[in-house]
Amino acid sequence: MYFEVGDRKIAIELQRSYQHLRDFVRRQERYERYGVECYWLVRDEVAKPLGKSILPQAMDRGIQPHHCLLTAFL
């Protein structure tokens, strides 16, 4: 889902099926390139390992942690 609030561009991704780490990274990079805050909703078993993989990589590339939020659901 994509929407705008004032000057903020926001996307919410609901990822229920398996997605390789490189695909998460590519999609997050695309959002960042266009100035979109992206909030990911992922399964609990995916959230922890994905967070450990994505957040350090994102921060190394200068992506702010609040622009790469993972939220787990059952």
Domain spans of the chain, in order of start: 2-73
Query: Average of pLDDT values for 70-74?
Result: 48
**In this structure, are residues 43 and 50 in contact, taking their beta carbons and an 8 Å threshold?**
no
Written as six digits, the tokens of 72 are: 């787990």
Q: What is residue 16's predicted lDDT score, i.e. its pLDDT?
A: 78
Alpha helix (H) ranges present in 1-74?
A: 21-33, 44-60
User: β-pairing, 36-43 with 68-73?
Assistant: parallel
| Residue bearing the bigger pLDDT, 26 or 62 | 26
Per-residue burial over 9-21, b = 16 or more CB atoms within 10 Å of its CB, e = otherwise: eebebebeeeeee
29 has a pLDDT exceeding 80: yes
Q: Across-strand partners of 51?
A: none
- pTM for the full model? 0.64
